[in-house]
């Protein structure tokens, strides 16, 4: 099957011009119609989804991955609810960000505009299809969706339902596009469409991100791994530290904002670690400690160098003692992924140093790294967590899906 | 000669961590010392520059390009003055951009931070070396400079002077780096250093930009061509239109914000064009018109399809009549480069439509496109004009050379 990528992308670009000037009411009406349609077509989506599940079971996919794929009625309901939530968000397009008045009489307005055409490349979870379509529409962008082949039937079903509803509401063809050809050549061609696509966002494993970064001729914002740290300072309230460290690792270990490495000030390690490790082990967490940690709690495994780099996404935790806040910061900057890192401390100087010198998207004091999330930040739904420093960092909500332009009002000014 | 790119980039990254926490006073002291050093070492720089000029003359470079290369004492003085101007700018690092208070008691501060390590790839003009070093330093970034081989002696001389002054002021080694190996393989290796370089900015011709976009594994913000338009609407004040159109083309034709295509409403074309074209021709501007334009002014050349795409950077102008503002917008969106476009009009509806639908970085009403410039926007010196939609659009001053991070203050909060 031949897919005419250039034609598809040109259509998306044309649609983006119309979406950019659509008013909030029209966008919300479409979002509500899309939510309705998901609920109405729930059994069609579920039956298409069962094809993916069957294939996944045959091919021996892990239980965790099959669970991610599965669309029960409640999950389809959640997708619909998310679209309704997105409709309720404030429309950021047209925001006046700055006004500059120049001595020559020129008035310069910086106003928020959509980015244009956004390409989302993602793996497994089919709800990404509907979330990304909703967020891109609300922010006035056309979206091109390219999901993983293991969820292809589910993704196409969701797309069909959403797209029909959108077209019925008068949205232009090309506002939402699904690429159903799983060929890598097609993805490569997509990533070269710099005339038509303004931004690519890969969401998935390390291999996918690397592939996209290598092939892309268009700007990319990465949703990369989270090797998140918590550093328990000498001055920490140890009860608070224990609760936060437990939460950051155990509450939902499979997500990017979960803690992967615990750093503990050496002067409190003997007091803090035995109880903490006991609590972890009682919840099934495997501890991989440095030599010093093993000398305190001999039962733990010894960490290897690669452990400090690893995003486990599982009930595994690497633990190390450090001399002071400086060593903690150095460790985080050397091994971390600049996603979310926390200090637990009662010392204002250590706190200030940590906040200033840890260059991560989200730097916490006395709280769990698990709060790095669009909803928890009060931004509403998010399209991902940027681990890049260009354009957007941390949770990306609809404001982060916009750009700006300058409108310059003159009365005949010429340059001297 | 072998250049250890990885080592150089790692050093820049380390330097960037120190620069990020440097206070404004220390940065300004270094900028002033760098300006002093340029003035003091003016004759050394000029003598190194004469080697480049000699080589350029031997190789038959055009007069315009040789003029761009040449560093007379006045130009070296201008470079020093620019550094002093940059020192006077407000330091954007640490700006509190937003405060979010959450119901659970978390306080989230969004604060401005430097980007990290910025790679600038540029051609010809040696003053870029000093401007970019100054702007990156002021915004707390380490900079890696990779200039063109035709200016290599001048660039290295300027770098030597600046870097010595910076080190004397206590700036870390690696804060300013010059890559003096002109090998393309070296550039390719640079563009792959995603662990150490946060942003690449190519400034130069189309071939350079394409090369960088293709090879980069790091984020790129492009300073691409300016195919800028002025549309003279039916309702325009024709005297004002003539002055603006003349200025936009003639005042400095070799720059990216100069007009390349003039669009004229067909109902006023017979009244407006003959006088306008006469004035252009009196200043040596070659006109390439559409059939309709040639029927009004038979002396002009006929434009070819490729003319509408072309950034002449010269005293050449393509001219076309259009039916209405819609056709003008369609033409601009089809052939333009989304840099700077203007409408000259007295009609509020046409103005509103043009401002809304022309998706360029800078959209003008009744003014010359020549104002797209950091200084003219009141931002001070600029590092370039972004034609991208990600991160920054239009003139990029020091604020656009920053990112942000979130600082989250808790008192024991955990995620439920």
Note whether residue B157 is domain-resident: yes
Q: What is the mean pLDDT of chain B?
A: 96
Residues A305 and A185 in one domain: no
Give Cβ neighbours of residue A47 (< 8 Å, ≥ 6 apart): none
- Find chain B residues with C-beta within 8 A of A116's C-beta: 359, 389
Verify that A245 and A180 share a domain, yes or no. no
Per-residue confidence (pLDDT) for residue A1, from 0 to 100: 53
Q: Determine the Cα–Cα distance for residues B407 and A386; give it in Å rounded to an integer.
A: 16
Q: What pLDDT score was predicted for residue A375?
A: 93
Pairing, β A384-386 against β A394-396: antiparallel
Instruction: Please indicate, yes or no, whether residues A57 and A143 belong to a single structural domain of this protein.
Output: yes
- Nearest by CB: A377 against B100, B333, B362: B100
Q: Are residues A127 and A54 in the same domain?
A: yes
User: Domain check: are A212 and A272 in the same one?
Assistant: no
- For B408, the closest of A371, A408, A409 (CB atoms) is A371
CB proximity list for B176: less than 8 A, separation 6 or greater: B133, B136, B137, B142, B143, B145, B159, B162, B163, B166
Q: Give DSSP secondary structure letters for A66-119.
A: HHHH---HHHHHHHHHHHHHHHHSPP-TT-EEEEEE-TTS-EEEEEEEE--EEE
Per CB-CB distance under 8 Å, the chain A contacts of B194 are 213
pLDDT in tens, A263-319: 999 999 999 999 999 999 999 999 999 999 999 999 999 999 999 999 999 999 999
- Residue B215 CA to its chain's centroid (Å): 21
Report the pLDDT value the prediction gives residue B2, as an integer from 0 to 100.
67
Q: Do B247 and A415 touch (CB under 8 A)?
A: yes
Query: How far is it, in rounded angstroms, from Cα A177 to Cα A389?
Result: 28
Between the two ends of chain A, the Cα-to-Cα distance in Å is 59
Query: Tens digit of pLDDT for each residue in B140-191?
Result: 999 999 999 999 999 999 999 999 999 999 999 999 999 999 888 999 999 9
Alpha-carbon distance of A343 to A355, in angstroms, equals 9
Contact A415 B240 (CB under 8 A): no
Average pLDDT over residues B100-108: 98
Question: Which residue does chain B place closest to A362, by CA atoms?
Answer: B406
Q: Give the CATH number of the domain where residue A351 resides.
A: 3.40.309.10
Same domain, B54 and B194: yes
For the stretch B291-344, pLDDT in tens is 999 999 999 999 999 999 999 999 999 999 999 999 999 999 999 999 999 999
To test the contact with chain B by mutation, choose from A389, A391, A393, A396 the residue with the greatest count of B C-beta atoms within 10 A, namely A389
Question: Could you tell me where the beta strands, DSSP code E, fall in B258-415?
Answer: 259-265, 286-289, 301-302, 316-322, 340-344, 362-367, 384-386, 394-396, 402-413
Give the residue from A21, A5, A210, A28 showing the smallest Cα distance to A119.
A5
Helix (H, G, I), strand (E, B) or coil at A328: helix
Do B265 and B212 share a structural domain? no
Same domain assignment for residues B105 and B244: no
Q: Are residues B278 and B300 in the same domain?
A: yes
Q: State the DSSP code for A166.
A: H
Q: Is residue A378 part of a domain?
A: no
CA–CA separation, B320 and B265 (whole Å): 9
Residue A314 shares a structural domain with residue A262? yes
Nearest one of B228, B245, B227 to B236, comparing CA atoms: B245
Is B102 in contact with A378 (Cβ distance < 8 A)?
Answer: yes
CA distances from B255 to B248, B368, B377 (A): 10, 13, 17
Do A403 and B413 lie within an 8 Å CB cutoff? no
Q: Say how far apart CA B355 and CA A298 lie, in whole Å.
A: 69
Burial of B302-326, coded b for 16+ CB within 10 Å and e otherwise, reads ebeeebbbbbbbebbbbbbbbeebe
**CA A26, CA A262: separation in Å to the nearest integer?**
48
Question: Cα–Cα distance between B238 and B268 in angstroms, integer?
Answer: 9
Query: Is the Cβ pair A410, B116 closer than 8 Å?
Result: no
A415:B376 CB<8 A: yes
Distance from CA of B49 to the nearest CA of A (A): 30
Residue A2 confidence (pLDDT): 67
- Comparing A200-214, B235-249, B384-398, the range with the smallest average pLDDT is A200-214
Q: Count the neighbouring beta carbons within 10 Å of the beta carbon of residue A323.
A: 10
| Residue B382 is assigned to a structural domain of this protein | no
- Stretches in chain A below the pLDDT threshold 70: 1-2
Report how far residue B303's alpha carbon sits from residue A143's, in angstroms, rounded to the nearest whole number.
37
Residue A198 inside a domain? The answer is yes
For residue B118, the cross-strand partners are B143, B199
Kindly determine whether residue B367 and residue A21, on different chains, have CB atoms separated by under 8 Å: no
Domain membership of residue A416 (yes or no) is no
CB B344 within 8 A of CB B367: no
Reported residue count of chain A is 416
Contacts of B20 in chain A (CB under 8 A): 359
Q: Which residues of B160-178 are buried (b: 16+ CB within 10 A; e: fewer)?
A: bbbbebbeebebbebbbbb
DSSP classification of residue B70: -
Within-domain flag for B325: yes
pLDDT (mean) for B75-84: 96
Percent with pLDDT over 90 in chain B:
93
Interface test with A, best of B221, B386, B407, B408 (most A CBs within 10 A): B408
pTM listed for this prediction: 0.95
Contact A17 B333 (CB under 8 A): yes
Residues of A in contact with B408 (CB under 8 A): 362-365, 367, 371
Q: Residue A160 is part of a domain; what is its CATH number? A: 3.40.605.10
Residue B89 domain-assigned? yes
Task: Give CA angle at B69 (B68, B70), nearest 5°.
Answer: 95
B263 and B311 assigned to the same domain: yes
Cα dihedral across residues A297, A298, A299, A304: positive or negative:
positive
Provide the token pair at A168: 């019925």
Based on the fold, state whether residues B188 and B97 are members of the same structural domain. Answer: yes
Q: What is the domain extent for residue A132? A: 5-224+388-408
- Per-residue b or e along B386-411, where b marks 16 or more CB atoms closer than 10 Å to that residue's CB: bbbbbbbbbbbbbbbbbbbbbbbbbe
Total number of domains constituting chain B: 2
Residue that is written with structure tokens 């891109």 in the block: A136
Whether B358 maps to a domain, the answer reads: yes
């Amino acid at each position: 099957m031949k897919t005419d990528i250039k034609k598809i992308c040109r259509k998306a670009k044309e649609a983006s011009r119309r979406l950019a000037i659509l008013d909030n009411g029209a966008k919300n009406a479409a979002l509500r119609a899309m939510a309705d349609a998901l609920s109405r077509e729930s059994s069609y989506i579920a039956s298409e989804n069962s094809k993916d599940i069957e294939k996944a079971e045959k091919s021996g996919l892990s239980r965790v991955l099959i669970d991610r794929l599965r669309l029960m009625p409640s999950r389809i309901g959640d997708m619909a609810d998310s679209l309704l939530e997105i409709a309720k968000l404030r429309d950021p397009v047209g925001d006046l960000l700055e006004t500059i008045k120049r001595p020559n009489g020129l008035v310069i307005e910086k106003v928020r505009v959509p980015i244009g055409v956004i390409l989302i490349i993602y793996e497994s979870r089919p709800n990404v299809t509907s979330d990304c379509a909703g967020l891109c529409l609300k922010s006035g962008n056309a979206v091109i969706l390219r999901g993983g082949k293991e969820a292809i039937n589910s993704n196409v079903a969701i797309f069909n339902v959403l797209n029909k509803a959108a077209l019925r509401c008068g949205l232009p063809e090309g506002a939402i596009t699904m690429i159903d050809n799983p060929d890598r050549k097609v993805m490569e061609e997509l990533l070269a469409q710099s005339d038509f696509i303004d931004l690519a966002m890969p969401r998935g494993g390390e291999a996918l991100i690397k592939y996209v970064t290598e092939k892309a001729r268009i700007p990319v914002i990465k949703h990369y791994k989270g090797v998140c740290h918590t550093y328990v300072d000498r001055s920490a309230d140890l009860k608070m530290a224990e609760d936060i460290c437990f939460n950051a690792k155990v509450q939902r270990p499979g997500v990017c904002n979960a803690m992967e490495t615990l750093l503990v000030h050496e002067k409190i390690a003997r007091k803090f670690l035995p109880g903490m490790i006991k609590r972890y082990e009682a919840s099934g967490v495997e501890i991989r400690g440095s030599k010093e940690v093993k000398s305190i709690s001999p039962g733990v495994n010894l960490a290897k160098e690669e452990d400090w780099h690893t995003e486990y996404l599982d009930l595994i935790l690497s633990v190390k003692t450090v001399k002071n806040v400086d060593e903690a910061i150095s460790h985080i900057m050397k091994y971390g992924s600049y996603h979310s890192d926390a200090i637990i401390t009662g010392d204002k100087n250590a706190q200030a140093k940590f906040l200033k010198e840890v260059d991560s998207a989200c730097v916490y004091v006395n709280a769990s790294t698990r709060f790095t999330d669009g909803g928890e930040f009060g931004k509403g739904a998010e399209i991902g967590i940027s681990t890049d420093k260009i354009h957007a960092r941390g949770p990306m909500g609809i404001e982060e899906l916009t750009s700006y332009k300058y409108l310059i009002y003159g009365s005949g000014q010429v340059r001297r």
